[in-house]
Chain A
Amino acid sequence: MKKLILTIGIVAMFFGIAMAGNVTIKGSDTLVRLGQRWAEEYMKKHPETVIQVSGGGSGTGIAALLNGATDICEASRDMKEKEYKKAEELGIKPYRASVALDGIAVFLNEKNPVSELNFAQLKGIYTGAITNWKEVGGSDARIILYGRENNSGTYAFFKAHVMDKEDYSDYTQTLPGTAAVVNAVSKDVNGIGYGGIAWAKGVKYAAVSKDEKDKAVLPAMESVSDGTYPISRELYWFFNGVPTGDLKKLLNWALSEEGQKVAAEIDYVPLSKEQAEKNMVK
């Protein structure tokens, strides 16, 4: 028994030492899948580098970066004022690079005559100010709201970005996961839902415009990637200072055509080519 404990101890120490010289990535749960795939692919090419990826949420990742507990922090949001201030106090110089994009689509039932919605309408619908489809050019029927649970990042993003942080209507039916939302809308002629853009099966996307005067755009890899689709966000990697050495190599590879292709394969939206090149560290 003692021997076993000793062995475990030695192995753990050994790993500890081995990890110390290498890269740790920590943060957003939205990004963790992508971080892992990138790490796998990168380690295949560079067996000398060991990359350790873990999730925990954007806030957790940022805290780890400020404490010096991680080399790269993944975040699906920018750092808050408070966090920037704290970084300054701790002598950390956060360097932000967007590495991929994420679009949120609005789902409608295929039989719904409505096909375009602007931000004001979406806000009205989800806050409960607009309750009938005829108010947004549809048939005379009650709008049935579907959404995500209130701990979901998508819930928070949609609320902050489209609804000016107002509360969702109490009548919003919350479902666990985007797949459940899509399923519900596909079965409900008067349903509306939102979620990641790679999910829609049996529902149609609403074309969305920020303003009444703007042209409504359908969500797709391209329109999110070039920024014409209005409900999208950047996903970031934060470093302490401008990355050098292994970190720089890793970032530039992730932003390369190859790295962005990996992202697209697992349904993240790649950056436009120019944007990706601009974000690389020279």
Chain B
Amino acid sequence: MQELKFKPKSKIREFLGEKFITLNAFIALLAILLIFVFIFKEAIPIFTDEEIKQEASLDKMTFKQVYYEGREAKFSWQPNSEVPKYSLYPLFLGTIKAAIVAMLFAVPLGVGAAVYSSEFASRRVRELIKPVIETLAAIPSVVLGFFALIVLATIMQNAFGLVFRLNTFVAGVALGLAVIPIVFTVAEDAMTTVPRSLREAAIALGANPWQVSLTMVLPAALPGIAAGVVLGFGRAIGETMIVLMASGNAAIISASFLDSARTFSATIAAELAEVVFGSAHYSVLFFIGALLFIFTFAVNLSGDMILVKLKERMQGKTK
């Protein structure tokens, strides 16, 4: 008689093994929770400490301030000044501007590549395109940033005669390179999971490949594409190294995409290393960190929720 391949092992061992992996899972959760708590704890003095409140209260960070008597009220980020100025508005503007450029650049390319790869490409081409685009995600962002700083900025300046070599546009395009693989991967997955039966039904009704993908697959996969865009946006907001290197980091109020910009993430990276522990500047930087945390958390959560909904629909679980 043949022996059993899976011998029943001792119950204790199985029990311990299970508890061990459960513990691992909870440690990850705990880590996120602790990071959250720590960041907020360091930011709290903004609301409680009188001395810090004088330098950087919530309304000083949000509204125009008169910093010198007789001069105009303005938004300004100059934390290391005789009169420290902690207006978050220029940083917010810079962050959003860079992310918008990145999305305008990455979404059409990412979605277009996904449609081509899942609908039109032959199997061989698809097996080439997919890994190559996904490799983009594996490039360290510091390398992308360096590329933008040294090569891309010069090319753009020469091509368009830009005044500022390092600007929001350059940073946004480099940022887009980091966002493309996210949009592409999620959108492509969404399209390939559209059930065969839907396609076959469309083909049976006499639709050509274009009609199948435009009227059948794309609408069905639309939530997935939206999720890809949302997740990509989260990355564009939180990404640090690329904008730190390529955006010029000037905290200015300007609607032009050809001016420099300073983003939240780059500000933290550049200033936190040597800020005086416990000062107003320190708390403000943590406050920015908390804002970024909440924002990217919300964005990623909503992206994931869309994906879960989509999966349910594709499997026919929702009515």
Binding site for B on A (CB under 8 A): 57, 142, 144, 149-152, 155-156, 165, 167-168, 170-176, 180, 183-184, 187-188, 191
Contact = CB atoms under 8 A, between A and B. Distances in A.
Contact of A175 (B76, B90, B163, B249): B249
Q: Which 4 pairs of residues, A with B, have the shortest CB-CB distance?
A: A173-B248, A151-B274, A150-B80, A174-B249
B229 interface: no
A155 to B, nearest CB: 7
18 contacts: A144-B165, A151-B270, A155-B80, A167-B78, A167-B82, A170-B251, A171-B252, A171-B260, A172-B250, A173-B249, A174-B250, A175-B249, A180-B149, A180-B245, A183-B149, A183-B150, A187-B165, A188-B165
B315 to A, nearest CB: 49
A174 B275 CA distance: 16
Contacts of B164: 144, 173
A152 B275 CA distance: 10
B271 interface: yes
Given A167-B81, A170-B77, 19 more contacts: A144-B163, A150-B78, A150-B79, A150-B80, A152-B274, A156-B80, A165-B82, A167-B76, A170-B90, A170-B253, A171-B259, A171-B260, A173-B164, A173-B166, A174-B249, A174-B270, A176-B245, A184-B166, A187-B165
Given A142-B163, A144-B165, A173-B260, A151 B249 contact: no
Tell which of B80, B157, B251 has the most Cβ of chain A within 10 Å.
Answer: B80
> Could you say which of A57, A150, A184 has the most chain B C-beta atoms within 10 Å of its C-beta?
A150
A147 to B, nearest CB: 9
A183 B148 CA distance: 13
A144 B157 CA distance: 13
Nearest to B85: A167
Interface residues of B, number: 34
A189 to B, nearest CB: 10
Given A156-B80, A171-B260, A187-B153, A151 B271 contact: yes
Nearest to B81: A167
A184 B149 CA distance: 8
A175 B153 CA distance: 14
Contacts of B159: none
A144 B252 CA distance: 14
A180 B85 CA distance: 26
A148 B67 CA distance: 23
B244 interface: yes
Contacts of B252: 170-171
B165 A150 contact: no
B65 interface: no
B81 A176 contact: no
A167 B244 CA distance: 21
Contacts of B81: 167
A54 to B, nearest CB: 16
A171 B249 CA distance: 9
Contacts of B275: 151
A32 to B, nearest CB: 14
A183 B275 CA distance: 26
Nearest to B244: A176
A56 B223 CA distance: 52
A187 B154 contact: yes
A170 B165 contact: no
A16 to B, nearest CB: 26
A191 B165 CA distance: 9
Nearest to B90: A170
A57 B277 CA distance: 13
B255 interface: no
B251 A151 contact: no
Contacts of B259: 171
A165 B82 CA distance: 7
B31 interface: no
Interface string B76-97: 1111111001000010000000
